[in-house]
């Protein structure tokens, strides 16, 4: 009797992958940082820089892999979701920790031609303005959404990887019993043919 294990669908892992990927993609279009000062504010979205496109791509990968994983868990799909969560969430976390420097560097490079000064000089002026309380840099909702999406996708990939391992048990087959044990006792042996006298003798 064949007891081959089949890979069953695991919708939980797939749903987590899709939700995490959707959050990564959505957060890429939201505001990541905001600079306020002098009664005005300037916001920076994720897709305003290259990091936003990386998190967007990671989110799309997680969504596609999650949809396929919901139909039937495969180890390679779970690994893709894990990688997407690590890359997308990791970039979001890194940018959250370095948002101030990233925003000020970008602002200095953009404002340098206007003031006829180098980017380093403008950056120094911006630092002085922040120290004096004239400017402030804050993290916005987009980075939190990206980080949360990366965590959800990572959890979904881990769940899918665990499920794939559980359903990947090698197939085994019960050996058939000998034919002599099926349907009762073995048949009686057939006696050898006896020799007949020769009529012409």
How many distinct structural domains can be found in the chain? 1
- Could you tell me if residue 55 is inside a domain? yes
**Overall residue count recorded for the chain in this entry:** 201
Q: What is the pLDDT of residue 80?
A: 95
Q: What is the pLDDT of residue 198?
A: 58
- Could you tell me if residue 129 is inside a domain? no
> How many of the other CB atoms lie within 10 Å of CB of 138?
13
Interatomic CA distance for residues 153 and 13, integer angstroms: 9
- Could you tell me if residue 31 is inside a domain? yes
Q: What is the pLDDT of residue 41?
A: 77
- Could you tell me if residue 194 is inside a domain? no
- Burial annotation 60-73 (CB, 10 A radius, 16+ → b, else e): bbbbbbbebbbebb
Q: What is the pLDDT of residue 45?
A: 87
- Could you tell me if residue 159 is inside a domain? yes
- Could you tell me if residue 154 is inside a domain? yes
10-residue mean pLDDT profile of the chain (201 residues): values are 47 93 96 82 84 95 93 86 96 90 78 82 85 86 96 94 68 52 58 59 51
- Could you tell me if residue 161 is inside a domain? yes
Q: What is the pLDDT of residue 108?
A: 78
Q: What is the pLDDT of residue 189?
A: 61
Q: Which residues, other chains included, contact 181 with Cβ-Cβ below 8 Å and sequence gap of 6+?
A: none
- Could you tell me if residue 196 is inside a domain? no
Q: What is the pLDDT of residue 150?
A: 97
Task: For residue 161, give its domain range.
Answer: 11-96+137-168
Q: What is the pLDDT of residue 171?
A: 45
Q: What is the pLDDT of residue 187?
A: 60
> Which helix (H) or strand (E) segment is 45 a member of?
strand 40-45
């Amino acid at each position: 009797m064949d007891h081959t294990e089949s890979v069953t669908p695991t919708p939980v892992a797939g749903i987590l992958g899709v939700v995490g990927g959707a959050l990564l993609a959505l957060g890429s279009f939201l505001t990541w940082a905001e600079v306020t000062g002098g009664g005005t504010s300037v916001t920076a979205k994720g897709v305003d820089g290259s990091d936003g496109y990386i998190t967007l791509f990671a989110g799309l990968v997680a969504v596609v892999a999650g949809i396929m994983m919901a139909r039937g868990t495969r180890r390679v799909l779970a690994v893709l979701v894990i990688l997407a969560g690590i890359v997308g969430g990791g970039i979001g976390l890194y940018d959250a920790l370095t948002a101030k420097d990233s925003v000020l560097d970008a602002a200095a490079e953009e404002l340098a031609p206007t003031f006829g000064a180098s980017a380093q000089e403008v950056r120094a002026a911006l630092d002085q303005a922040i120290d004096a309380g004239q400017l402030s840099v804050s993290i916005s909702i987009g980075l939190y959404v990206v980080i949360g999406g990366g965590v959800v996708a990572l959890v979904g990939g881990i769940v899918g990887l665990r499920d794939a391992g559980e359903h990947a048990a090698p197939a085994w087959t019960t050996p058939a019993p000998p034919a002599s044990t099926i349907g009762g006792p073995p048949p009686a042996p057939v006696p050898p043919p006896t020799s007949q006298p020769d009529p012409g003798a």
